Chain A
């Protein structure tokens, strides 16, 4: 389900265990990623970063010649690209430190391949917009770049709130997004008491994207929990 654009992104993988590197490489390759480079120490990683110019770095925290936090700071000086920690250090303080330094995600070993792939794909999609930003739904397309719904040749503009909600739903396409997360996406940090407004906005979005707004197929309700955006490919599947 990954586009070639995403699959071609260069991924730098740093871990001191060669066997683990082999496994992660095999997981990424199986998923279709083609540009992967590995390093086993801070020195190797810095050298690789210069030569390889990665689009994403996956870093271990414990390395023979330093730690991943220091490495991340040095890499950030060289280039601004997303970074993900993949480490055996499961303490909250380590996690907070990683996020504090600007990590895009923090994964604790052991992990399931699917989990890693989902997070890598999510980071890449968020960081590198595809050339074709059209979201295909069963009855229409959404142009997120211009905040418009394209329906039967007609372009219907989205309001700011509708756009914020659809973006949040699209980032988690095929997965439930909670009422609270949607309220936060639309109304910010203190999103209490907007549940009714949210319902009104969802209704208006449906009027724009659904063939039959009272029987939605693209933007479905999960009672009590939240909403789910179903993409055309998924809908067909």
Chain B
């Protein structure tokens, strides 16, 4: 929108420049034309030259042959009168009969300004006489009574400029007026185009000079809106479908899990049969986790999971999760080590409690799933410090320093771990749920995808790598509540 006045300014400048150019061109052309019609210096000059070419000989006055030839070629007649007698002392051969041979002072004055028998006359002063040249009729137009007020001539430049301005200003006003009209009809269209990528519906009035443009813009917006609606509908349908399927699986799976768990504890079964029941329970739990993960992952992916943020204490939350796992792990196969600094009891983050709980639980569950023979799980919450001294000194004041701090929740184990290559893949390859190509290769668990989605929905990120104890390790990095910034 800001570019429009700039555009108008540019056009006005262009207009001024073209007016100026026109003026220069016109004046130039005028000068060229006038000069082109007076190549021989004009009739007054010719008359003067003719007067000067007169020579007094014994047999009277004689004109030079060259001059005579020139006059004849242009059909000009000439007469030379003596200063003292005012009578012709020389005449050209083509002098018409009607031209007088003697003049009075008033006649001389009259012919100097005007005509003799409609022939425009011009005079030049010789040594002792006056040369009168008579040009053919209609060869020149003479202004007989030319005289101007001196003041008018004096103020001519000023008048010229004023007239010029008086001409340019109305042109400019007309132009700006027309432009303002255009601008008025352009503004809603520009506004409409700005709205398009923001996904807002655009509905312009289809009238005025740009009605066609408005019409097409409306059409485009309609199409985009309908596409957006279709896309949302499709996403919602997909998420609902997944939610429906996982819902329908829950009740039958309850039965599998419930009866298998009862058999697992049955006194009447042989040890090996109880083990089989135990395996069914274990696998049912995996299916249960998978259903939960699938459901949440699809909802997060299609933006259908509300993120209800409140200020929570990450230390308390993660401590509760760790304790829940310890309390559940009756056999003690997966001991949880709490590695948080004892001084750190509060780490405030602005987050959805249930989602963060889900993310951390997923990481612990992940360690358990990948280490069937048991492993120790190390859980810690920390506040990350500024990464290097240079940055610390560059940051002016405590405020700037705090910006570099994040809440880091880490879950590590001393189990099987993963190879560098696998870690690289986990960190960078897209999951099959969010990837539109090559779905065969990326088949790592949904658990980590959810953790990533949750961290990102809170403006954070995750780092997957090797644990300090040899196994697998994942860090969830979230902004602190006091300086909620995206990573």
A interface with B by C-beta (< 8 Å): 17, 19-20, 23-24, 26-27, 30, 88-92, 108-114, 172, 175-181, 192-193, 195, 222-226
Contact = CB atoms under 8 A, between A and B. Distances in A.
Contact of B338 (A20, A90, A172, A224): A224
B320 interface: yes
B262 A26 contact: yes
A225 B246 CA distance: 35
Nearest to A116: B258
B262 A90 contact: no
Interface residues of B, number: 38
Interface string B253-275: 11111110110000000000000
B346 to A, nearest CB: 5
B93 interface: no
Contact of A223 (B246, B262, B292, B338): B338
A225 B288 CA distance: 28
B350 interface: no
Interface string B315-327: 1100110110011
A110 B261 contact: no
A88 B316 contact: no
Contacts of A89: 247
Contact of B354 (A92, A195, A222, A224): A92
A214 B288 CA distance: 44
B320 A180 contact: yes
A17 B320 contact: no
Given A88-B247, A88-B250, A225-B338, A112 B257 contact: yes
Interface string B11-29: 0000000000000000000
A193 B251 CA distance: 44
Contact of B323 (A24, A178, A192, A223): A178
B230 to A, nearest CB: 25
Interface string B282-312: 0011001000100100000000001000000
A225 B338 CA distance: 7
B313 interface: yes
Contacts of A91: 243
B342 interface: yes
A17, A30, A176, A223 pick with most chain B CB within 10 angstroms: A176
Contact of A179 (B243, B254, B327, B345): B345
Contacts of B256: 110
A179 B281 CA distance: 33
A172 B250 CA distance: 29
B257 A111 contact: yes
A89 B249 CA distance: 11
B412 to A, nearest CB: 16
Given A176-B326, A226-B319, A90 B251 contact: no
B340 interface: yes
B257 A180 contact: no
Nearest to A179: B319
Contact of A225 (B243, B257, B323): B323
Nearest to B320: A178
B262 A110 contact: no
A176 B327 contact: yes
A173 to B, nearest CB: 11
A180 B319 contact: yes
B428 to A, nearest CB: 31
A75 to B, nearest CB: 22
